[in-house]
Amino acid sequence: ACASNNFTEIPEFPSGVTNIGYRTFAYCNELVDIKIPDAVKTIDKDAFRGCTGLKTVDLNKVETFVGGWSFSGCTSLESVVFGADFKTFGGPDFQDCSSLSKITVKALVPPTVPYGLLTNTFYGCSEDLTIYVPAESLEAYRTAEKWIDCADRIQAMPSEE
């Protein structure tokens, strides 16, 4: 999509659009801070892959990543916020996001990781990566299957989140 369009923000989606498809915004290097529209519930494989200018992402009402590598290679990405309805990672969704140091997951139940391990999802991210979760769910996240390998990175969400 960005071969011919230098999007600096997510355009308004037509009513009824609930999915951001395969490579829709891949390599849109002008994107910096994005908030996914409320109607969007799924993000497909490679949807934002290689958006090297992207710094922050608010996934708001997104529930599922499909297929993996959704934000892979977004080397400037620093923080991501998942809403309370987020349920499933698609695979190595944030692989090689070397600046990613803060992830906030507002879901009370740890999202599933159907493919590989959670460490694969965040492979190549900042060594300082911290995953913030609701305080009442901290132990559930730290002991959940496939989350346990990142237990030392999981912290209670600060109250202002």
Given its phi and psi angles, is residue 50 left (phi above 0), alpha (psi -120 to 50 degrees) or beta?
left
Q: Would you say residue 1 has pLDDT above 60?
A: no
Token readout for 96 is 């090689």
Please write the tens of the pLDDT for every residue from 55-94.
999 998 999 998 789 999 999 999 999 999 999 988 889 9
Going by their DSSP bridges, the two strands 56-58 and 79-82 should be labelled as parallel
Give me the long-range contacts of 155-161 (CB less than 8 A, separation at least 24): 155/130, 155/131, 156/132, 157/104, 157/106, 157/132, 157/133, 158/132, 161/104, 161/106, 161/132
pTM of the model: 0.89
Please write the tens of the pLDDT for every residue from 16-58.
889 999 999 999 988 988 888 889 999 999 999 999 999 999 9
Please write the tens of the pLDDT for every residue from 122-159.
888 888 999 999 999 999 999 998 888 889 999 999 88
